[in-house]
């Protein structure tokens, strides 16, 4: 029996209730995301200001359209990329604690940012190429470089355990090299602070366009390869018995993971626990296969970070709390509660 026949039979046996519940959940999450966007566009340093009232004042309206809206949309897109990458990572490694930074992307991005800041203090001729690249480009290149180094150390994508171990090793090594760079050039610590803590305040329309251009094809590709994740959840032997070409499909999923994570990190810095918590929240709301899971995790991750960005702006207003710190506190607390509930 072919894989297509097995897929058709599985779809035919799927009851209508779970599919209708998934549609309702999708609509609810999208509606909440729209509400979060309206709230995000209405919250500023002066407190809550209705978008309708701001439309009557040209200066206030320019603040809404040029600062608040791209920041809110950018936070949602960043969270969506991290949620998508988290769902792919957990399915690919068959580990509910896998996160998007597992393959060395975070440590690679931090090292690249540290090197870029250190070179900016060097003579202009030595730093011209890195200045043209910029911190965002350097973080993206560093994130992809960390993943490629992990793949090189793991000798490909055939062995999941080897990939996990290689990712841990690369993370520690690149983190140590980053520490050496900061010791040699202590001035970079101030510049790295916003990147390490996570920051959505500098996201503009161009960054939103870049993230949207990456999110859409990566989400479609992850959805198309969801059957591979379903097969891997039953074990590699079962996936092989279904006739799935695991090596190229696993490489494509790692590409989705790397590009989605690298784009999010490059635009907003290191924002933890969103990619880890979003798939868990989706599984708690609906029992779905990996096809709906990756898409719902993206929407849930976007909603989580959009709401966290609003809270970060108002909790100690008129100052702002780094959104990465807030997501770490809230996400860590949620996972601790989840572990406690399961042990009970």
Question: Do residues 322 and 312 lie in contact, with contact meaning Cβ atoms separated by under 8 Å?
Answer: yes
Residue 41's closest CA among 27, 55, 26?
55
Contacts for 208 with CB less than 8 Å, ≥ 6 apart: 70, 73, 74, 77
Q: 34, 169 in Cβ contact below 8 A?
A: no
Question: What is 3-343's CATH superfamily?
Answer: ABC transporter involved in vitamin B12 uptake, BtuC (1.10.3470.10)
Say what the pLDDT of residue 197 is.
85
- pLDDT for residue 12: 36
Distances in Å between the Cα of 26 and the Cα atoms of 236, 282, 296, 339, 344 are 30, 10, 7, 26, 30
Please, is 61 exposed, middle or buried when counting C-beta atoms within 10 Å of its C-beta (0-12, 13-18, 19+)? middle
- The confidence score (pLDDT) of residue 126 equals 46
Q: What whole-number distance in Å separates Cα of residue 20 and Cα of residue 287?
A: 12
Would you call 27 exposed, middle or buried from its count of C-beta atoms within 10 A (0-12, 13-18, 19+)? exposed
The tokens describing 45, both together, are 């340093």
Alpha-carbon distance 78 to 212, whole Å? 9
Question: Which pLDDT value is given to residue 237?
Answer: 66
CA 341 to the chain's CA centroid: 26
Residues 164, 168: Cα–Cα separation, whole Å: 6
Per-residue pLDDT, 51:
64
Contact predicate 251/157, CB 8 Å: yes
d(CA 179, CA 189): 10
Burial class (CB within 10 angstroms; exposed 0-12, middle 13-18, buried 19+) of 162? middle
Below-50 pLDDT ranges, the chain: 1-17, 123-127
- C-alpha 179/C-alpha 196 separation (Å) is 13
- Check if the beta carbon of residue 74 is closer than 8 Å to that of residue 211: yes
pTM of the model: 0.85
Question: What was the pLDDT predicted at 15?
Answer: 43
Give the pLDDT score at 318.
76
């Amino acid at each position: 029996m072919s894989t297509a026949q097995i897929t058709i039979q599985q779809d035919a046996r799927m009851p209508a209730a779970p599919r209708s519940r998934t549609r309702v959940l999708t609509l609810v999450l999208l509606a909440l995301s729209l509400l979060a966007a309206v709230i995000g566009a209405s919250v500023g340093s002066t407190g809550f200001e209705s978008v309708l009232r701001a439309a009557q004042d040209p200066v206030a309206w320019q603040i809404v359209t040029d600062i608040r809206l791209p920041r809110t949309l950018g936070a949602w897109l960043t969270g969506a990329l991290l949620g998508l990458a988290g769902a792919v990572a957990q399915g690919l490694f068959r580990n509910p604690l896998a996160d998007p930074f597992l393959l060395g992307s975070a440590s690679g991005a931090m090292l690249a940012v540290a090197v870029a800041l250190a070179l900016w203090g060097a003579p202009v001729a030595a730093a011209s190429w890195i200045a043209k690249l910029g911190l965002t480009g350097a973080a993206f290149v560093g994130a992809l470089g960390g993943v490629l180094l992990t793949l090189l150390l793991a000798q490909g994508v055939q062995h999941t355990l080897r990939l996990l171990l290689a990712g841990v090793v690369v993370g520690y090594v690149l983190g140590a090299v980053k520490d050496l760079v900061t010791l040699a050039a202590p001035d970079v610590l101030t510049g790295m602070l916003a990147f390490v803590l996570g920051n959505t305040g500098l996201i503009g329309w161009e960054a939103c366009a870049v993230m949207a251009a990456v999110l859409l094809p990566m989400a479609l590709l992850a959805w198309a390869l969801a059957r591979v994740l379903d097969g891997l959840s039953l074990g590699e032997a079962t996936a092989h018995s279904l006739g799935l070409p695991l090596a190229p499909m696993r490489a494509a999923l790692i590409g989705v993971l790397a590009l989605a994570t690298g784009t999010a990190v490059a635009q907003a810095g290191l924002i933890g626990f969103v990619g880890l918590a979003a798939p868990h929240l989706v599984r708690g709301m609906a029992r779905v296969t990996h096809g709906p899971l990756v898409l719902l995790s993206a929407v849930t991750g976007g909603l989580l970070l959009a709401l966290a960005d609003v809270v970060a702006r108002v909790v100690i207003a008129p100052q702002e709390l780094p959104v990465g710190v807030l997501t770490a506190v809230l996400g860590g607390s949620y996972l601790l509660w989840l572990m406690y509930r399961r042990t009970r």
